[in-house]
């Protein structure tokens, strides 16, 4: 064991000559005669003044396999496994070895981006750029980036840019949302409407309205059905002739309107809901003024104005739920009222 130790020291002494050291540098590494070397250890040394890969290659040739000497991929660290005294001696040799990293002249490489946004690439690379490397670009209209620095440091940056220059993943297709708005006319006279035209799916709503507002009969005035994409706006309007809307046909039609700034599907653990922002339900109703009756009993109207009725709100509607979002009196003091009922659901 002592003989092997001496042989390795001799090889290291030869290596010291190769690296510019004298054999005196190994004096403290030699084991006293008759003393058994300490157990093997593994040590890692920083290669500040030497290329660790070249250092390990030269020493490995000299000492054989009695001591294991290696380096990391960058050549900045040397790993030694063997007797402690020899490992420490190699560490001392490493600090004074003249095989420094050869200086590299800075180079500049240009990369043309086909897909990625240069600003986004700069944002991602900023935290990992080495101090000696700079990355820049000429502006959004030119998708060319410049990378400057030592070749061994710019190479991984160029590879990173290439990996980042990929097409953005396509956005998932937006779902369609079906929005239905029911306009219910209500009166407190039993049998006047006899729930005329009210669809069966609104029967439970009618019963709740009877209990809450004491109305006797209801009539479905009109229905709006709109399909829009998730997150988009929705709008619809049309006219109802006077004799169908309950106004005098001579006054002109009633114009109904429904619009929403955004209709968005909200996903929850227990089901989905639809958020309706800035929902407006309105009607432009013709109103007569200057009404006169001739001797023959005929009525004339000198002027017709339009009265704008509207309900504006924002509401969340669970899929399959029928929500009464508002009520407006339309024929005071007779008690006639207009209720707005909304349902919404995903169409996909």
**DSSP annotation string for 252-290:** -PEEEEEEEEEEEEEEETTEEEEEEEEEEEEEEEEEEEE
Helix or strand holding residue 88 (H, E): helix 84-96
Q: Which helix (H) or strand (E) holds 15?
A: helix 2-18
10-residue mean pLDDT series, the chain (348 residues): 42 48 43 55 79 80 75 84 81 64 74 88 88 79 84 89 87 87 81 68 89 84 89 86 57 84 87 91 76 58 70 90 86 68 88
Assess contact for 135 and 129: CB atoms under 8 A.
Answer: yes
Q: How many helices (H) and strands (E) does the chain have?
A: 7, 14
Residues 49 and 100 sit within 8 Å (Cβ to Cβ): yes
The DSSP H or E segment spanning 123 is helix 118-125
Give me the pLDDT at residue 335, please. 56
Would you state the pLDDT for residue 22? 41
- pTM (whole model) above 0.85: no
Rounded CA gap, 17 and 167, in Å? 56
Any alpha helices (H) in 151-225, and if so which ranges? 151-164, 203-213
pLDDT of residue 103: 60
Q: How many angstroms separate the CA atoms of 291 and 299, rounded?
A: 7
3-state secondary structure (DSSP) of residue 317: strand
Q: Which helix (H) or strand (E) holds 315?
A: strand 299-318
Are 186 and 246 in contact by the 8 Å Cβ rule? The answer is no
Q: Looking at the chain, which residues constitute the CATH 3.30.1370.120 domain(s)?
A: 107-164
> Which CATH entry fits the domain spanning 107-164: 3.30.1370.120, 3.20.20.370, 1.10.10.10, 2.30.40.10?
3.30.1370.120
With contact defined as beta carbons under 8 Å apart, do 161 and 167 qualify? Answer: no
Say whether 303 sits in a helix, a strand or coil. strand
The confidence score (pLDDT) of residue 283 equals: 80
């Amino acid at each position: 064991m002592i003989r092997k130790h001496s042989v390795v020291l001799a090889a290291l002494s030869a290596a010291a000559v190769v690296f510019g050291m004298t054999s005196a540098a190994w004096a403290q590494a030699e084991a006293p005669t008759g003393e058994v070397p300490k157990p093997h250890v593994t040590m890692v040394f920083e290669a500040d003044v030497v290329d660790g890969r070249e250092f390990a290659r030269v020493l490995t040739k000299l000492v054989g396999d009695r001591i294991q000497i290696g380096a990391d991929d960058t050549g900045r660290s040397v790993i030694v496994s063997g007797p402690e005294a020899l490992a420490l001696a190699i560490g001392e040799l490493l600090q004074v070895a003249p095989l420094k990293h050869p200086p590299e002249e800075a180079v500049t490489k240009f990369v043309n981006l086909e897909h990625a946004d240069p600003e986004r690439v700069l944002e991602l690379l900023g935290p990992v750029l080495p101090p000696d490397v700079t990355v820049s670009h000429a502006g959004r209209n030119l998708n060319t980036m410049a990378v400057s620095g030592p070749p061994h440091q710019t190479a991984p940056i160029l590879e990173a840019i290439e990996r980042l220059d990929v097409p953005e993943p396509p956005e998932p297709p937006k779902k369609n949302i079906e929005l239905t708005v029911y306009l219910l006319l209500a009166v407190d006279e039993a049998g006047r409407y006899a729930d005329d035209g009210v669809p069966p799916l609104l029967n439970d709503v009618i019963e709740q309205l009877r209990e809450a507002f004491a109305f006797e009969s209801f009539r479905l005035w009109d229905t709006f059905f709109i399909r829009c994409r998730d997150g988009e706006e929705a709008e619809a309007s049309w006219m109802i002739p006077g004799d169908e809307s309950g106004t005098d046909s001579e006054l002109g039609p009633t114009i109904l309107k429904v619009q929403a700034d955004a209709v968005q599907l909200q996903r929850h653990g227990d089901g989905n809901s639809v958020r309706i922002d800035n929902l407006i339900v309105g009607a432009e109703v013709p109103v007569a003024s200057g009404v006169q009756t001739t001797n023959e009993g005929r009525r004339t109207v000198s002027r017709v104005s339009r009265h704008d009725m509207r309900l504006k709100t924002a509401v969340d509607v669970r899929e399959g739920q029928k929500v009464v979002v508002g009520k407006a009196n339309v024929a005071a003091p007779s008690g006639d009222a207009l209720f707005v009922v909304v349902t919404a659901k995903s169409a996909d």
